[in-house]
Structure 1
Amino acid sequence: MRSMARITRFHLTALVASVLLVGQTAAQPGPAPHGGPPKAMLSLHSSVEAVVPGEPFDVGIRFQLVSGWHTYWHNSGDSGAPPRITWALPDGFTADDIQFPVPVRHVDA
């Protein structure tokens, strides 16, 4: 009877370890699916019509999203990630941190 308990405990431990290991690999994020119509259209807007050397200016990126889609704020909590922007700027230009508009709460039914 004692050896049967050891075998059962071994199998139970192996099963739990397998589920945990497989669960971890299955939960890894992957690339978004490709194909289909775009889910967002982005446009770049500037606070000035012409850039003047040495004068700061603002640019904004407008996200027009398909109904049912959304982005996350810079403090998205425990889910999602905010949009990230990588600028390719000419020499002498710098970019400050992204300023996000005040978020709007979305509730999924």
Structure 2
Amino acid sequence: MKHILLPLIAALGLGAGLPAAAQTMDAVTSARVLPGWRMADGTHMAAVELRLAPGWKTYWRAPGDLGIPPRFDWRGSQNLAGVDIRWPTPRRIQQGDDVTIGYHDILVLPLHVLAQNADKGVTLSGTVDLGVCRDVCMPLTLSLSADLPAKGAPRDGRIAAALADRPLTASEAGVHAVSCTVSPGKDGQLNLRAELTLPPTGGPESAVIEAGDPNLWIAQPKLSRQGDRLIAETRLAHSGGRAFALDRSKLRLTIVGARQAVDIKGCPAG
């Protein structure tokens, strides 16, 4: 990440329904947990709502070479068995000569919550580490808490809209003929070339490739397009400098355009 100001870390205690003003350069104007509702299968749908000041951005789960993806720690919670984040469609953000993947203005990030005892409410309590950017980029730590009732809460339209605003699947977007070619690179790196057939997603396009292994670094892919044929080329390396194997079934390629984003899981050999 460029221009990170490490001393600027704010810890904000935020209760459900009680937005608190950010204290670091007014980047975050409010953050809170939307308590959501208990679903028929006993799981719970809640969300984190983050409001950013004009001109500020935050990042998606895989922001590219720049940015800090959100990292949640819910160890202070009660009656909690697990939390699965349902990421809404990110945007392609131009930052000078760089392109990142993330969000601006208002982010509603749905949380699919699994209770240990589905008959009881969940106390969701923890922190999120995230990066925010305008002219400079900096990390923030926010404290979040909310009581998620077991019964009686109606569906929240804000959360429902965020769930609906998801990237298209490969089949929904008309993707076919997906293949990946891997070749040795310099200094123990691997070169990866992904080819697929996908109609244009609108305007300038960006690609994010995830390997399913947090120890693997992946360079920002370079894209080229000829009609519906899209090619993404990148490099992979182990963060510890060690040799590594690439599991193609865990590769995840997301194409982000002006009109839509497309989520492609798995990339067989070309």
> When the two structures are superposed, what TM-score results if normalisation uses the length of structure 1?
0.56
Q: CA RMSD in A?
A: 3.0
Structure 1 outlier segments of 4+, above 4 Å: 33-37
1:47-91 superposed Cα distances (whole Å, 9 cap, x missing partner):
31xx69x8210110011001111111001111111122221211x
Cα distance in 2 for residues equivalent to 1:33 and 1:73: 19
Greater relative contact order structure (CA < 8 Å, 6+ sep):
2
Richer in helix (by share): 1
Cα distance in 1 for residues equivalent to 2:5 and 2:50: 23
Cα distance in 1 for residues equivalent to 2:66 and 2:73: 22
Residue 22 (structure 1) aligns with: none
Cα distance in 1 for residues equivalent to 2:52 and 2:9: 17
Indicate the structure (1 or 2) with the bigger Cα radius of gyration: 1
Residue 89 (structure 1) aligns with: 77
Cα distance in 2 for residues equivalent to 1:33 and 1:94: 29
Residue 38 (structure 1) aligns with: 26
Give the partner amino acid of 1:71: T
SS in 2 for 1:68: coil
Q: Percent identity of the aligned residues?
A: 24
Do the aligned partners of residues 74 and 65 (structure 1) sit closer, same or farther apart at CA in structure 2, a change above 3 Å counting? same
Residue 91 (structure 2) aligns with: 104
How do 1:17-56 residues align onto structure 2 when only pairs under 5 Å count? 30-32=6-8, 37-40=25-28, 41-48=30-37, 55-56=42-43
CA drift at 1:108: 3.2
SS in 2 for 1:47: strand
Residue 146 (structure 2) aligns with: none
Richer in strand (by share): 2
Give the partner amino acid of 2:82: A
Cα distance in 2 for residues equivalent to 1:95 and 1:32: 30
Give the partner amino acid of 1:42: A
Residue 76 (structure 1) aligns with: 63
Do the aligned partners of residues 36 and 82 (structure 1) sit closer, same or farther apart at CA in structure 2, a change above 3 Å counting? closer
Do the aligned partners of residues 46 and 82 (structure 1) sit closer, same or farther apart at CA in structure 2, a change above 3 Å counting? same
Residue 15 (structure 1) aligns with: none
Cα distance in 1 for residues equivalent to 2:4 and 2:36: 40
Q: Is the 8 A contact 2:8 2:24 kept in 1?
A: no
Aligned residues, how many?
A: 79
SS in 2 for 1:94: strand
